[in-house]
Structure 1
Amino acid sequence: MIQDASPMSPQTTALALHALGQGPLANRWRTEAMRSHATPRLIFFARGQGRITVAGLTSGYGANNLIFIPAGTMYGFEMGPSVFGQIMAVPGAMAAEWPDRPVHLRLKDVASQKELLALLEGLERELHSDRPQHRRAAHYHAGLLSVYLARQVALKAADPARDRADTSAARLVAAYTGLVERHFRADRGVAAYAAELGVTPTHLTRCCRQTCGQSALALLANRRHYEACVMLRDTTTPVQDIASATGFQSAAYFSRAFQARAGQSPSAFRRSGASPRHG
């Protein structure tokens, strides 16, 4: 398979396709915590339902939902036991062929559903193939998926969440999540982010709760927690260095915050072993 890192890792820049819904519940942080990637992601939920938060805006998803996440956009989603789907890492070299803002499509037309499944099956087949030129063929399949998405958007199949994203509250929260993504490693609190956005911390939190049901502090803590989990599972970086790399003033403070959220210490989390690379 064409890949160079975990499918949910910000370092993934190669074309990859992975199944969703096959991992143990203990690894929910791989999907539910806020994160972003250096390259775009395309998510297809074939069955099941839940909620997904993209750039601070929460929406429901169900079967035959196709969601595009631009590079650098914070997101996370629920993964119940009935959910199954696939997530594709878009190569950095192909990113310009995809939208520059999130897209959520609810595919109700059977013909459109079948067309998407055929494209995904073709991509998966080439990614697992050992035939000559299979990588080149896989990239052409990815290109066809970008055309498919553009056509569906042109047909106005987009979810009403796109209209919700144009409200003042949603725009503010999207700007906030963008800042968080750029600066979460620094020791900056919500007040500093609010000041940069020209609003009060109270107003920022009110808007965050309105768009995604979380406070501004919770979104920031969520993003830091995911990064800490990735570093603990995927690297040998010392805990004290992970603390400073995720915006904590001390290793002790980091350990207390991690324990409160994960139910175990950072060291115990690391010893529990790396999770499956299922996305």
Structure 2
Amino acid sequence: MKSAIPSYDLYGDRQQSGWTNSFQFEWIPVRSSPYNYDIRPHKHDAFIQILYLTQGEGDVLINDARYKVSSPALILIPSQNVHGFQFSSNIDGPVVTAAQKSLESMAAVVMPELVSVLRKPAVLHLDESSRHAEALMPLFLGIEREWRVHAVGQVAAGMSLLMALLVQVARLSNVLEPAPMAHNSRKAQQIEKFRALVDAHFRERRPIEDYASEMGLTAGHLTRLCREVLNVSSQDVVNARILHEAQRELVYSTDGIKQIANLVGFVDEAYFTRFFRKHMGVTPSDFRVRALQSMKTKLA
């Protein structure tokens, strides 16, 4: 069963892009003005976006949170996060879209603590006088230059500039912390492989033994690995992915509980409801009502 939340490489584009291993640059009005500056909730399965609002204002939706933003502001949206925008007609600024996995692979080598920055949505209101804020536009313009001019090393140069941009994002959000030892180890790579397998197969309700077998591990080894690196069990990782998807569908789709249960791999609606209530403390129906009411309150 397919998710009711639209997924695009770039908003409104149904065809797959030709730059899935690198990056893309454009100015915010180019894509938002044809939609009257109203970008409906959607997600990017494999791409991260970084927007720099240099003029105008708007409402930003990321998952179940809404933000009022005015320029200058920086918005970072990792892949798989539902988001939407309602911009003022005078909105302006650059937006870069890039392959999430490619950036994470680069970050893991050159600056592992950036990986956590890449995975966490952020809305940053900027002080134009900040030395970090002053560094943003030259980096965006450098990325645009590499995007527009097809030359030797274009992808390498563009992605390197993106890494520099993400360092500025981290400095602005004040989230840089020393990377745990595990992030530099084979164990961290195994965890990333497990998470990728869960992303691909969580709807199939696979037992942990299947994931472990595909990784060349025993189920016990995989669970010990998750507890050591993540401080949770391997089943907790799978359950968290199921719950994350279920919550998004409850908030952003109009599908019934049975349809959402089927979408995340449950044949029986009652079993899904018990599973959801056990982990979330409320039924799916109650969660939907509360989440939608909370969003309305935040927007008011």
Scaled to the shorter chain, the TM-score interval is: 0.5 to 0.7
1:218 alignment partner in structure 2: 236
1:237-274 Cα offsets, whole Å, 9 max, x none, are 12112112112232111111111222211111222216
State whether structure 2 residue 163 is matched by structure 1 residue 149. yes
Secondary structure at the counterpart of residue 91 of structure 1: strand
CA root-mean-square deviation: 4.9
SS in 2 for 1:248: coil
Q: Say whether 1:248 aligns with 2:263.
A: no
Equivalent residue number for residue 104 of structure 1: 113
Alignment CA distance shift 1:151-1:12 (3 Å): closer
Q: What is aligned with 1:166?
A: 184
Higher relative contact order (CA 8 A, sep 6+): 1
2:132 pairs with 96, 111, 116, which one? 116
In 1: Cα distance, 2:282 partner to 2:165 partner = 47
Distance in 2 (CA, whole Å) between partners of 1:266 and 1:89 is 35
**Residues 203 and 264 in structure 2, CA contact (< 8 A), matched pair in contact too:** yes
Count of aligned pairs: 200
Find the counterpart in structure 2 of residue 35 from structure 1.
none
CA contact (8 A) 1:98 1:146 kept: no
Matching of residues 1-279 of structure 1 within 5 Å: 4-6=39-41, 9-10=43-44, 15=49, 17=51, 42=76, 90-92=96-98, 98=103, 100-102=105-107, 103-105=112-114, 114-119=130-135, 140=144, 147=161, 149-150=163-164, 161=179, 164-272=182-290, 273=292, 276=295
Report the identity percentage. Answer: 26
* Structure 1: runs of 5+ lacking an equivalent: 31-40, 44-68, 75-87, 107-112, 124-135
Distance 1:5 1:17, change over 3 A: farther
What's the TM-score, normalizing by structure 2? Answer: 0.51
Q: 1:98 to 1:170 in 2, by over 3 A?
A: closer
TM-score, normalized by length of structure 1?
Answer: 0.54
Q: Tell me which residue corresponds to 2:5.
A: none
What amino acid maps onto 1:213 in structure 2? N
Please state how far the C-alpha of 1:16 moved relative to its aligned partner: 5.4
Contact 2:103–2:159 under 8 Å retained in 1: no
